[in-house]
Amino acid sequence: MARKKDKTQQREIARERIARLFYMAKIFYKDNPSLSDNCVKHARVISMKHRIRIPKPYNRQYCRNCYRFLVPGDNLKVRIHRKKVIMTCSKCGYMRRYPILEKKEK
């Protein structure tokens, strides 16, 4: 039983580290973009090692093809087309599409 508790504690620590790495990537981007790309790569390695998902807000901050930290207007083109948000990486040209969710009325 102690081992299972230890695994959940390790996963919680891994989630905190992922959040911290994305925060640091955001800070490092102005001075050294390659360092912020390294932060993203380390966050991915941590998530794969502990078998946890990267949370949705962080998951949309990097390119799934080249693992580059994305900043809108600098190395990311964002546009809206047919009720979808289309994000295009300027380095590799990879496009991600997200539907625009409509709010439900009560």
- Is the Cβ–Cβ distance between 58 and 19 less than 8 Å? yes
Any known ligand binding at 92? yes
Residue type, position 53, single letter: R
Q: Which residues contact 4 (CB under 8 A, 6 or more apart)?
A: none
3-class secondary structure, 39: helix
Nearest to 50 by CA among 4, 3, 8, 1: 8
63 has binding-site annotation: yes
Contact residues for 72 (Cβ-Cβ < 8 A; gap 6+):
78
Binding site listing for Zn(2+): 63, 66, 89, 92
Binding site listing: 63, 66, 89, 92
